[in-house]
Copies of this chain bind each other. A is one copy, B any other.
Amino acid sequence: MKIAILGFGTVGEGVYKILTESKDLYQSRFGQSIEIEKILVHNVAKKRDIKEANQIITDNFEEILQDPNIELIVEVTSSKNQAIEYIRKSLMAGKHVVSANKAAIAVDFKELQKIAIQQNVHFKFEASVAGGIPVLSSLGRLIAFNDISLLHGIINSSTNYVLTEICKGRDETEVIAEARELGILEANPTDDIAGFDARRKLAILAMMILQIEISEQSIPSIGITQVDSRDSEILNKLGYEIKLIAELLNGEKSGLKEKQIALSVFPTALNNSKFNRVNGMMNEVTFNGSYCGELRFYGAGGSMYPTANAIVSDIYETITNKPLYFPVKENQYENISDQIESSFYIRIPDSLMVNEDLNNEIIEMAEKILLAKKEVIIFSKPISNQKAVEL
């Protein structure tokens, strides 16, 4: 199969390297090959480690689109709007598309599914959620006959890295500066730190599972901007660690009523949980299906090779599988994401502690509750998610 790669950043280069390095292994196992026909870049003059670069590199997307030999487009550009355009045009031209662009996929999920179905081509996006973990392919098959009642995930690597380091007792400002230097956080880290990236991935998962439209913005989310080393110190002492958890609750088995759903992305204090070994850049997605039971998938959340591995898996599945679609249907659920109540951790900052008597009273009270029942002491009474996000 002849393919084109749009973009040659870290992931694009990873895809190029895997396909080049594993050519023999793939050929020996499957007696066929995947040929990179074109690579789309901004600057064709830039020196790159690509064989026969002058034949392969182009800055002209139309040239790729018009080439009837190219059956599959790997979209790994970094811009959201251009990516949507590339994906849409490629699907419309009857080409399969494999993309890692979660922003583009989340925002245009419904329409892109529709076009892919009309054109009878593959539209695959394993790399867009939980990087190198083959969770979408497994989930995609399982929902053919399983109702998914519950999904939890650590699906943002950079915040998981930051939280892991903070939980070691390090200062949050120092950790964030370091993460930026290491390229773990982008120059503008808002998307990650505010939880937008995680809720975008949760929206994709939810649209696959529920087959309804879920906008990112509708998911109550609190990032990790308000988590600092004092919080982790207090919580660690109590046996908790802090993780940014994306959650989907669906129906009675998740504790809601039938046809009720609730989604959220919150930093969560976890005590002895299944996620306690998911540290640094690693991700984990767990879900419960009516027949498969609880499944957990753990692996690298990002970085060059794992992400590129997910893309190559998608290319491979495009060759070997029939297309799998996730059409968005009419909403049949009551989304109670905003109304659902959780217990929230509240630390009263020194600046608000104006009255020493009151301070001491609160501390004393907290201690008493701590002694009486460890689990609740530093958590608030349940308040609604909407309220929590507003606060």
Q: A interface vs B, CB < 8 Å? A: 14, 18-19, 22, 25-26, 29-30, 132-134, 137-138, 141-147, 274, 276-277, 286, 289-300, 305-306, 308-310, 312-313, 316-317, 319-322, 324
Contact = CB atoms under 8 A, between A and B. Distances in A.
Contact of A309 (B14, B291, B305): B291
25 contacts: A14-B291, A18-B291, A22-B144, A25-B147, A26-B145, A29-B143, A132-B293, A133-B295, A134-B141, A134-B142, A145-B309, A276-B277, A277-B277, A291-B309, A292-B306, A292-B309, A293-B305, A294-B300, A295-B298, A295-B299, A296-B297, A296-B298, A297-B298, A298-B298, A321-B322
B132 A295 contact: yes
Given A18-B145, A19-B145, A22-B145, 18 more contacts: A22-B291, A25-B144, A133-B295, A137-B138, A144-B316, A145-B316, A276-B277, A292-B306, A293-B299, A293-B309, A294-B300, A295-B297, A295-B298, A296-B298, A320-B322, A320-B324, A321-B321, A321-B322
A310 B298 CA distance: 19
Contacts of A290: 305
B145 A312 contact: yes
Given A25-B147, A26-B144, A289 B309 contact: yes
Contacts of A277: 274, 276-277
A114 to B, nearest CB: 16
Nearest to A326: B29
Contact of A300 (B141, B293, B316, B324): B293
A344 to B, nearest CB: 26
Contact of A134 (B295, B310, B324): B295
A300 B290 CA distance: 13
A321 B82 CA distance: 32
A308 B174 CA distance: 50
Contacts of A276: 277
A155 to B, nearest CB: 15
The 7 closest A-B pairs by CB, nearest first: A22-B145, A296-B298, A291-B309, A295-B299, A293-B300, A292-B309, A320-B322
A99 B310 CA distance: 28
Nearest to A286: B298
> Which of A134, A143, A322 neighbours the largest number of chain B CB atoms within 10 Å of its CB?
A134
Nearest to A305: B291
A211 to B, nearest CB: 8
A30 B144 contact: yes
Contacts of A138: 134, 137-138
Contacts of A19: 145
Nearest to A275: B277
> Which of A25, A296, A305, A324 neighbours the largest number of chain B CB atoms within 10 Å of its CB?
A296
